[in-house]
Structure 1
Amino acid sequence: MQPIHNAVLAAAGIALVLLGVGSLRPASAQLLQTAYDFQTVQPHPSVHALGNATVAVRGYPGAIGVNPATIGAEEAVRVGSNINLSRGPAYSSPWFRSGFWIAAPTATMKRGPWAGGVQVKHFSRGTTEIRNAQGERVFFGSAFEQSIKLTGAYDVTSSVTVGGGVNLIRSRGVYGDGENVETHPTADLGVQYHTQSEQGSVTLRPSLGLSLTDFGGTVSVENRPGDLAAPTTIRGGGALQISSQSRQFGRPEWRVGLYGALSNRLVSGEFVEENGEEYFEADGPFKALFAGWGSTTGVFRSRGEQAEVSPWERITKHAGLELSILDLLSVRLGRFHESDDNGGRQYTALGIGVDAYYVSLDASWDFRDGPVDRLSYGRLTVRIPLSDSPRNFWPALLGGVD
């Protein structure tokens, strides 16, 4: 146990250093200074309900958008997408709601030490009109942002998994000249460490995760000076799953999961004044890796005033708790907290999941602290096992044999 203990402490120390212990220099960037902010939204109920604290957890739907190293858990193909909930969530599937909606069909596969995944996340902004400085209409029609993500993961050892991915972000009527579809590539990297030990009548599964997502260059906005940064985000955190060693139908009788994470959007740059107009000029992604940790000048959405944000305030905090019976019924509770000067998204989330092995259904709702629309998500996932062992699940369940 001593090597495992040392490895956990070392990985935790690295994560703390990368997540903001100290800063190299003050930076000037934050809210309203990144493009493609829809990439920070994870429309997956399990991730949403756990406060986006799942960077260290393998196998959850939505892992492809949080940490590419965690996309696979067992030898199976899993395919899923959003579904609409009653009365329509703020972000929904296109079949039931017009205007603003977001959908994210996803497919992942795990086979041996390798895993792969693909996700197409589409954010519709509805009908949009864009005019230039002279008041001339340059675009009128359907505006959207879309991310096509391909990821892969590999088990380096029985405890360490690494992953990476590439994204092609496409947009129309948001960035660029309106009519054309603009493209912008970004990259993802991730690592996850996990181990297992038996203590008395329970099994402990601690894990650590670290990821860097949407690492890419700056983005120009048509008819506006300056550049915005891609929403490069670093996440680090841990998880502890405690499960019963006694099993029914091949599953633990109960399981408790504790999850925590910190995240920081790595943006740096400076405000430039030219011809009496002040605008933000973002640094490139490599410079932002080192400069994106210091105090920053944020922007209030309501008044457009600049506000100082400390290094700790620019870090978002995530926490989650999960209770599961037979891994069949799960109840989730999460907390997501941004500082007021750094976006101000603060909410408690609640979720429920039913996993019948071959088909699972998840739903989540949040309860916002501020006067904004609450979000809710639903998702249906189909699992296709690639090994013989899962075939014992349904005969044991229906026949009452373990």
Structure 2
Amino acid sequence: MRIIFTFLLMAMGLSATSLAQLNKAAFPFSYLNTNIKSLSLGNATVSLNGIGNEEINPAVAAQEGVLQIIPIWDLYIGRYRLLFKQRGLSTNYRFSNSTVGLSIHLNKVRLSTGHAFSAPYLYKVPNDEIYIRSNYSYSFQSGVTLGAGLNYLYSSEAPRSQISTQKIKKTHSFSIDLGAKYQLQNIQVGMFSFEPHMGLALTDFGRPAHYIYEDSKFPLPTVLRMGGAANIELDKRVYGLNLIELTAVQNVSKIMARMKDQPDEYGHRNEAMNPFKALIKSWGTYKYRIRSGMMKHNLSEQLWWHSGVELKLLEALNIRWGYQKAGEAEKSLSYWALGGGIDLYYLVFDYTYLNNKEEDLLEGHHWQITGRIPLDGTRSDTILNALFN
């Protein structure tokens, strides 16, 4: 699977060496996924439905007539004494073939000591950021779902360095998300039904922003994702519920943020590339400078791989495993995850443990509660019916 993906992407390579990845992107924390279920599957959810997956792909088909709400309440502590606190709310609702979603993310970034911040993000600490995301999708009877999202990104004023009294001005920007999903018809093989689906998404696409310098612009953390999944279900019911279901997912993604050398009176400087040009010219070798010198990574080393497996019992008990292999320049964001969940219909509890070798932002335990409010007065039978009837 990886060989096929890599070949297809390398066939699109149209440029020579180019600059920038996530470490040169404005509003870099908007790249972080806040949905615990998606994180526990290695972020390999570009083809899956369900609330929270809008952060990966806006083409999400929600449950019809049911308002879903997820409080966002998490804290990441990085190895470089970086404290990243998230607060917010995510919600969506489906009526007929349309799904609408809205989420608000309030982020606080702090450095608890004077240690240098060398994680793969632009340095802007302490800083408060606000991300407001809205999305709309439409599902066709053919199995195709198309979606689009509009995002508002805000970053507060921040000191230019740990010892400087100069300030980096506050800034804001807008970005769009585009996505598509295709769900194929069920394939029946003996006692098993097989349902494949695939997805494609481009997120955080927009004009560059003055993030840390007033005289330079930085690209948004635009990401292209593609991949597929398969649901395998045993045709056996217990208490009126499906006994067992297995979902396997595999995605690949690439950060499309790019800079270019811009001549000036001092020789040259780096400037954000036009985002439309970046979609074409970001397939070549990526180069960047570190203390030991210039580093280069070809296309295959820029790709992120996402894998996950979910086992569901009686439509209520879930066990999940996931793995995210980040590109070489951002390899500190690679992780594996083990998690689970309990779906009681009105309330869904999800948990995951993320193991990160670098002990970076994602390391540790994460919890999530999802609330469902059926506004149409109906609901499906769940394991609660079997327990109390």
Task: Tell me if TM exceeds 0.5.
Answer: yes
2:93 aligned with 1:109: yes
SS at match of 1:390: coil
User: Could you say what the CA RMSD is over the residues aligned between the two structures, in angstroms?
Assistant: 3.0
2:169 aligned with 1:185: no
1:288 shift after superposition: 0.7
Partner of 1:247: 237
Q: Work out the CA distance in 2 between the residues paired with 1:111 and 1:319.
A: 31
Please point out which of 271, 276, 288 is paired with 1:286: 276
Change (3 A) 1:256 1:42: same
The aligned amino acid for 1:316 is W
Q: Work out the CA distance in 1 between the residues paired with 2:294 and 2:130.
A: 30
1:294 shift after superposition: 1.3
Change (3 A) 1:190 1:141: closer
Please point out which of 29, 35, 40 is paired with 1:49: 40
Partner of 2:258: 268
SS at match of 1:145: strand
Instruction: State the TM-score, normalizing by the size of structure 1.
Output: 0.82
* Aligned residues of 2:168 and 2:213 also touching (Cα < 8 A): no
Where do residues 3-402 of structure 1 align in structure 2 (5 Å cutoff)? 19-31=9-21, 32-59=23-50, 61-83=51-73, 90=77, 100-126=84-110, 143-174=127-158, 181-195=170-184, 196-223=186-213, 225-272=215-262, 274=264, 279-300=269-290, 303=291, 305-372=293-360, 374-387=363-376, 389-390=378-379, 392-393=381-382, 396-400=385-389
Aligned residues: 365
Partner of 2:117: none
Change (3 A) 1:74 1:283: same
* Aligned residues of 2:307 and 2:324 also touching (Cα < 8 A): yes
Gaps of 5+ in 1: 1-12, 92-97, 130-139
Q: Work out the CA distance in 2 between the residues paired with 1:379 and 1:251.
A: 24
Give the percent of matched residue pairs that are identical in Structure 1 and Structure 2: 24
Q: Deviations over 1:264-315 (max 9, x none)?
A: 1112332346565764212011111111111111344xx3743111011111
Q: Work out the CA distance in 2 between the residues paired with 1:99 and 1:342.
A: 19
Change (3 A) 1:299 1:193: farther
* Aligned residues of 1:83 and 1:377 also touching (Cα < 8 A): no
Q: Deviations over 1:11-40 (max 9, x none)?
A: xx9x87874433011242234221111011
Change (3 A) 1:293 1:161: same
SS at match of 1:220: coil
Q: Work out the CA distance in 1 between the residues paired with 2:189 and 2:236.
A: 13
Q: Work out the CA distance in 1 between the residues paired with 2:102 and 2:322.
A: 26
SS at match of 1:188: strand
Instruction: State the TM-score, normalizing by the size of structure 2.
Output: 0.84
The aligned amino acid for 1:339 is G
* Aligned residues of 1:337 and 1:344 also touching (Cα < 8 A): no
Partner of 1:6: none
SS at match of 1:105: strand
Q: Deviations over 1:343-378 (max 9, x none)?
A: 442211111111101100111111112353514321
SS at match of 1:312: helix
Partner of 2:120: none
* Aligned residues of 2:107 and 2:128 also touching (Cα < 8 A): yes
Change (3 A) 1:89 1:37: closer
1:113 shift after superposition: 0.4
Q: Work out the CA distance in 1 between the residues paired with 2:111 and 2:357.
A: 29
* Aligned residues of 1:63 and 1:71 also touching (Cα < 8 A): no
Gaps of 5+ in 2: 114-123, 161-165
1:44 shift after superposition: 1.4
Q: Work out the CA distance in 1 between the residues paired with 2:247 and 2:70.
A: 23
